[in-house]
Amino acid sequence: MKIRELTLIVMFSALWVTLELSLGHIIGRISIGPISFHGVINRMVGWALMTVLAEQVSGFGKITLMTMFVSIITRVQRVSTLEGLIVALGYILAGFIFDILVNIKRNRGLHYYNIIGIITGFIAIIPYWISRIYILGFVGFVLSFPVYAYSAIKGLSFSVIGVNVGITLNQILVKYKFK
């Protein structure tokens, strides 16, 4: 791993953690009608930074490493450490799959990144859903599913928005010959 790549991973991890810990609690409390902004910072910033990192470095493992750092640092701050670790596992899996998908294809465009955002946005939810099925039972989970479905749609939407922010940032970086 090159020094530049390691530096970007550390800088992006620090930025993601800082924004999540400083703005996550503030933005997460905002609601417009039934729409809550809980998790928005993590999804938008995280997926934007994963997208930028994917275009700025090469090779497998960099995105996974960043999501591992960030997930463990930000999720253990939760009231329930176990729930935080389950959510962290979702973000780590999402980063791992993001890493795999961006390294499969060299010519990645907007549509490919949006597909990656949808897939990884959904993957991030799976460990949490499994824990809810275990705690509530299958019937309890099915009865509560509208709440979980709404949360999933919101998470997917903000993941895709984050990917598009990352694509825009990469276009700016290319314009100024950052890479």
Instruction: Indicate whether 32 pLDDT > 90.
Output: no
H helix or E strand, kind and range, residue 31: strand 31-32
Cα–Cα dist 145/161, whole Å: 24
Domain ranges within the chain, ordered by starting residue: 3-27+39-175
What pLDDT does 177 receive? Answer: 67
Q: What is the pLDDT of residues 97-133, one digit of tens each?
A: 999 999 998 788 889 999 999 999 999 999 999 999 9
Q: What is the phi-psi region of residue 49: left when phi exceeds 0, alpha when psi lies from -120 to 50, beta otherwise?
A: alpha
User: What's the CA angle centered on 81, arms 53 and 99, to 5 degrees?
Assistant: 20
Record the tokens describing residue 4, joined without a space: 């530049």
* 53 within 8 A of 61, measured Cβ to Cβ: no
Q: What is the pLDDT of residues 56-88, one digit of tens each?
A: 998 899 999 999 999 989 877 777 888 889 999
Give the closest residue to 66 by CA, choosing from 112, 17, 100. 17
